[in-house]
Amino acid sequence: MNVHDSEKIAGILEGMGYASCDSVENADIIVFNTCCIRETAEQKIYGHIGAVKNLKRKNPNLIAVVCGCMSQQEGVADKIKESYPYVDIVLGTANLNMLEQAIVSARKKKKYYNVDFMQYREEDFNQSRTSYPNAWVNINYGCNNFCTYCIVPYVRGREHSRPMQDILREVRQLLDDGYEEITLLGQNVNSYGHDLQEGETFAKLLHEIGKLEGKFRLRFMTSHPKDLSQDVIDAIAQHTNICDNIHLPVQSGSNEILRKMNRRYTREDYFALVDKIRSKLPSVGITTDIMVGFPEETEQDFEDTLDLVRRVKYSSAFCFVYSRRKGTPAYSMENQVPYAVKKERITRLLACQNEVTKEISQTMVGNCYEVLVEGANFRYQNTMCGRTESGRLVNFKCDDSYIGKFVTVLIERASSATLWGKIVKSED
Ligand code: SAH
Ligand code: SF4
């Protein structure tokens, strides 16, 4: 979501005649597009903002902007105003469209602080996309779920859906422009349309995009397990251009912890959902987010998570240490888990998922998969990478003229998460 917001920020700046530069010393404007999902993200940002003071001594016309989730948090805009007076502009998550006006004011040495919620329209400005062959497309904003650990509903506001016609127009344009992959974005894509007219659902949106002509891939994230309907699973099965890949964050394998997290499903519900998905989409790749060290998580709760990971067999998992976020209900829960225990658990969780990924990787060796070439793997010479339909990243030798092409890759070897192969067939 933030990467895509950065594309919007870059689009606005380019529209004003700015271009990106390689070093902060040469910049006329520095924009910090912040995240506050975990404490570490926030700490890093304050360090970077502090460095602006010196840069401004060298270049008094430098304009410093802080925007994104952190600046939307209660009290943060005031804190920046007081403690970091050299910041010229503070914007929130829903008023990015004010950036141009704010810069015009900052050029006249007038500071601009505004974190009002006034959801902008994507159509109001150009975007400077950086992720070809993929293009990110927002479909809904905000979140109404209030998981007890999560800051997102407070900094991204109430959930609301973008009109379907606007989304379809943008997707058609992107396909005309040559993008080969579209990724629909929302905190909970499955509840798309709940605030629109009857029948305007996520499944309908998938059908509408799935019907579009031409070869391309459609992905989406994120799916909340409580809202993933049979209609959505059927739409994925029906359209070959919708990837058999579902990001389905589970967070924990313990019913007690899931209840305290306010996730509104049990591990049994989750297993049943996974079975339902796999019975319709046998080669689906399921990925997830998992958290360790939520308040009161016992060793048994954690072992339930390990057990779930082994049973579901995720192709990959983003694993996090629970981070206390001020303003959320879990912040003030008793029995916060000590850091040493969290650290020990995350190490065990990562090792467990690693074993699962390795097992899946081994089954892929010797088979061929269609891969969309995404870009260079800079760690190796003349090596590109891309994803299988199920979402697994594969490395193979070829030059960058292949970027954006669909190729067939034979998987030759696998080292846990990394797959290596060779191109056996390429389009044109
Ligand atoms: N809307 C998505 C998640 C967005 S946040 C969903 O519900 O699935 C991405 C991930 O960050 C979450 O899935 C969760 O695993 C993690 N996360 C959120 N709040 C966190 C916190 N306070 N500490 C650690 N991880 C957190
Ligand atoms: Fe956060 Fe839960 Fe909303 Fe996801 S669904 S953004 S984890 S509150």
Nearest residue (CA) to ligand 1, atom 1: 187
State the residue for tokens 């917001």.
5
Residue type, position 201, single letter = T
pLDDT tens-digit profile, the chain (428 residues): 999 999 999 999 999 999 999 999 999 999 999 999 999 988 889 999 999 999 999 999 999 999 999 999 999 999 999 999 999 999 999 999 999 999 999 999 999 999 998 888 998 888 999 999 999 999 999 999 999 999 999 999 999 999 999 999 999 999 999 999 999 999 999 999 999 999 999 999 999 999 999 999 999 999 999 999 999 999 999 999 999 999 999 999 999 999 999 999 999 999 999 999 999 999 999 999 999 999 999 999 999 999 999 999 999 999 999 999 999 999 999 999 999 999 999 999 999 999 999 999 999 999 999 999 999 998 998 999 999 999 999 999 999 999 999 999 999 999 878 899 999 999 76
Q: What pLDDT does residue 340 have?
A: 98
Task: Report whether 71 contacts 155 (CB < 8 A).
Answer: no
DSSP 242: B
Residue 100 CB less than 6 A away from ligand 1? no
Ligand nearest to the CA of 157: 2
Cα–Cα distance between 32 and 9 in angstroms, integer? 10
Q: What is the pLDDT of residue 125?
A: 84
Does the CB atom of residue 8 touch ligand 1 within 6 A? no
Q: What is the DSSP letter of 251?
A: B
Beta-carbon contacts of 27 under 8 Å, excluding residues fewer than 6 positions away, are 21, 55, 62
Beta carbons of 115 and 108 less than 8 angstroms apart:
no
DSSP 61-94: T-EEEEEEHHHHSTTHHHHHHHH-TT--EEE-SS
Give yes or no for residue 149 CB within 6 A of ligand 1: yes
In DSSP terms, 257 is beta-bridged to: none
Q: Rounded CA gap, 346 and 292, in Å?
A: 6
pLDDT at 117: 87
pLDDT of residue 131: 95
Helix (H) or strand (E) holding 136: strand 134-138
Ligand 1 atom with minimal separation from the 290 CA: 15
Tell me the chain's radius of gyration from C-alpha atoms: 22
Residue 300 in 3-state DSSP?
helix
Is the Cβ–Cβ distance between 281 and 390 less than 8 Å?
Answer: no
Q: Which residues in 258-405 belong to E strands, given as ranges?
A: 285-292, 316-321, 368-376, 383-388, 393-397
Task: Decide: 322 in ligand 1 pocket, CB within 6 A.
Answer: yes
Q: Is residue 292 within 8 Å of residue 321, measured between CB atoms?
A: yes
pLDDT for res 194: 95
How remote is the CA of residue 142 from the centroid of ligand 2, in Å? Answer: 9
Which residue's C-alpha comes closest to atom 13 of ligand 1? 289
Q: What confidence score (pLDDT) does residue 421 get?
A: 98
